[in-house]
Structure 1
Amino acid sequence: MRALMVAVLAMTASAALADEIDDAHRLAVSGRDSYWNCLADQYSSNRSQGMSGADFTALIASACPSERQNFRVMLVDFLSRQFPDVDAGAHMTTANNAIAAAQKDVVTAFIHHKAAAK
């Protein structure tokens, strides 16, 4: 009977941890989507239309600070739960790389669109 109780408690704890990881994943995806949507708004705004590639790059680097930070925090939280044995600095690096990749993708699209319009 005692072994059964231990097994039930272990399964319950495991299920609770899985739920926490799933919730953290959903929040990270939501943070990513909010950040991407904000970057997309910057891309399509009227003020960016006449910008040079360098000016647009600077704009994107500073755009959407609250969305960027929320995405960073949510992604680090998810990674910390998913991979608890990995150094927190590595999770921060992964989050920062994801942000840099999003910015690069938006800038690349802007530059390609600008070149095609010439």
Structure 2
Amino acid sequence: MRTMIALTLMLTGSSALADDMDDAHRQALQGRDSYWNCLAREYSPDRVKTMSEQDFIANIAAACPSERQNFRVSLIDYLAMQHPDEDSGRHLSTANHAIELAQKDIVTAFIRRKGAPN
């Protein structure tokens, strides 16, 4: 009987952990999508027509602060659940790298568009 209760508690606990992991993953994806959508609004042709490359890079680096922070926090939470034994600084570094890559992609698209013949 005790073994059955312990087994039931263990299965319930692992099910709850899986649900928490799924929720954290979903939130990280929502944070990413929200940040990307905000960056895409910053890239709208009407806003960037006359911007120099340097101005656009500075604009993107400063754009969407709440969306960027939400993405960072939700990704760190997910990574901490996925890899609980890793140093939290490593999770922060991974999240910051993901943000840098998002910004780099938008800047690359801007540069290509600027260089394209009209």
Q: In structure 1, what residue type is equivalent to 2:59? A: L
Q: Which runs of 5+ in 1 are unaligned?
A: none
Q: Which amino acid aligns with 1:77?
A: D
SS where residue 117 of structure 1 aligns?
coil
The code of the aligned residue for 1:7 comes to L
Runs of 4+ in structure 1 over 2 Å off: none
Q: CA deviation at 1:47?
A: 2.4
Question: Aligned partners of 1:17, 1:32: CA distance in 2, in Å?
Answer: 22
CA distance in structure 1 between the aligned counterparts of 2:15 and 2:47, rounded to whole angstroms: 49
Q: Paired residue for 2:70?
A: 70
**1:91 — aligned with what?**
91
Counterparts of 2:43 and 2:64 in 1: how far apart (Å)? 12
Which residue of the partner structure matches residue 82 of structure 1?
82
The separation in 2 between residues aligned to 1:10 and 1:40, in whole angstroms, is 45
Q: What letter is aligned with 1:40?
A: A
What are the ranges of 5 or more consecutive residues in structure 2 without an aligned counterpart? none
Q: Which residue of 1 aligns with 2:2?
A: 2
1:36-95 Cα distance to aligned partner (Å, 9 max, x none): 000000001522111111110000000000000000000001111111111100000000
> Identical aligned pairs, as a percentage?
60
The residue that corresponds to 2:44 in the other structure is 44
CA RMSD of aligned residues (A): 0.9
Letter matched to residue 36 of structure 1: W
Comparing 40-49 with 17-26, greater Cα deviation is found at: 40-49
Counterpart Cα distance in 1 of 2:45 and 2:84: 40
Alignment partners' CA distance in 2, 1:96 and 1:2: 47
